[in-house]
């Protein structure tokens, strides 16, 4: 599985935007970029995914570099409930393909 690199931790203030970076220089043409987050003592929760174009949904936005070697998850207005570990994962978009989790970024949101 292609590897991703994320900062161990980041901090943000409530109501401010948060940009979570992810490097994936060995990404292949068939890899989708997925983001999941995990709140304490819960299973991971899907956030967003994309292939080449930037993506928006109700939770976040995903900005993908033109060469696809990096991406950024954007939370437009952080809330205290956004405090979690955020995982950037590459996944082949084939039915039944697994996810391999890296260490993720621990996001702390300050009130």
Residues that bind another protein (CB under 8 A): 34, 36, 38, 41-46, 49, 87, 93, 95-104
Alpha carbon distance 87, 77 (integer Å): 19
Q: In angstroms, rounded to a whole number, what is the distance separating the alpha carbons of residues 111 and 93?
A: 38
Nearest of 33, 4, 26, 32 to residue 93 by alpha carbon: 32
In terms of CB distance, is 13 or 56 closer to another protein? 56
CB of 35 to another protein, least distance (A): 10
The residue (of 13 and 52) whose beta carbon lies closer to another protein is 52
* 3-state class (DSSP) for residue 81: helix
Least Å distance, CB 13 to another protein, is 25
Min separation Cβ 42 and another protein, Å: 5
């Amino acid at each position: 599985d292609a590897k991703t690199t994320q900062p161990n931790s980041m901090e943000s203030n409530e109501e401010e935007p948060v940009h979570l970076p992810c490097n994936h220089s060995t990404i292949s043409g068939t890899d989708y970029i997925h983001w999941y987050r995990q709140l304490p003592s819960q299973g991971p929760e899907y956030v967003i995914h994309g292939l080449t174009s930037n993506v928006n949904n109700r939770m976040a936005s995903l900005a993908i570099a033109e060469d696809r070697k990096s991406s950024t998850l954007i939370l437009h207005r952080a809330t205290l409930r956004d405090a979690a570990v955020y995982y950037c994962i590459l996944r082949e978009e084939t039915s039944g393909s697994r996810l391999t989790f890296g260490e993720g970024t621990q996001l702390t949101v300050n009130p």
